[in-house]
């Protein structure tokens, strides 16, 4: 079976600290297929910017935790030049068959199914 690429959006990474949800375990629970976790390079840029400029300490902490987990979980970085992170994620979803994990309502409208999202701030679900 071909390995799928699951791409994590910035907001789902921040949800780890904000809602105390282990998205890595949640994704593992619902995926009955081989996969690789990835982020687009610009997501790292967004996290680093948040660590420096976020007004609330909780946002800084969430960005910092997300960055540490990406390293600890050995998450692959995809360098895909695009106008924005959302454009890159839409491109990956629509043309490269990646499964995007996001909470962004506007982005979800642009994604090809399946994609993943957070339900009740507790668990990750697949939208087919």
pLDDT band at 46 (very low <50, low <70, confident <90, very high): very high
Residue 20 backbone class (left: φ over 0; alpha: ψ -120 to 50; beta: rest): left
**CA pair distance 122, 105, nearest whole angstrom:** 17
Mean pLDDT confidence for 80-86 = 93
**CA pair distance 41, 84, nearest whole angstrom:** 11
pLDDT tens profile 8-32: 999 999 999 999 999 999 999 999 9
Contact 30, 124 (CB under 8 A): yes
pLDDT band at 84 (very low <50, low <70, confident <90, very high): very high
Q: What is the pLDDT of residue 54?
A: 82
Q: Which domain range does residue 21 map to?
A: 4-127
CA distances to 1, 2, 5, 16, 116 from 12, in Å: 27, 25, 16, 7, 10
Contact 68, 44 (CB under 8 A): no
CATH number at residue 77: 3.40.50.1010
Q: How many domains is the chain built from?
A: 1
Q: What is the pLDDT of residue 78?
A: 97
């Amino acid at each position: 079976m071909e390995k799928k690429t699951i791409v994590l959006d910035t907001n789902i990474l921040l949800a780890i600290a904000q809602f105390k949800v282990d998205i890595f375990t949640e994704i593992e629970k619902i995926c009955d297929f081989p996969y690789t976790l990835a982020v687009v390079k610009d997501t790292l840029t967004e996290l680093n910017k948040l660590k420096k400029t976020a007004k609330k300490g909780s946002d800084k902490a969430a960005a910092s935790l997300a960055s540490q987990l990406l390293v600890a979980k050995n998450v692959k970085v995809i360098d895909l030049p695009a106008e924005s992170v959302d454009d890159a994620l839409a491109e990956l979803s629509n043309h490269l068959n990646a499964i995007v994990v996001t909470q962004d309502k506007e982005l979800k409208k642009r994604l090809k199914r399946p994609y993943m999202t957070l339900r009740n701030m507790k668990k990750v679900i697949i939208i087919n």
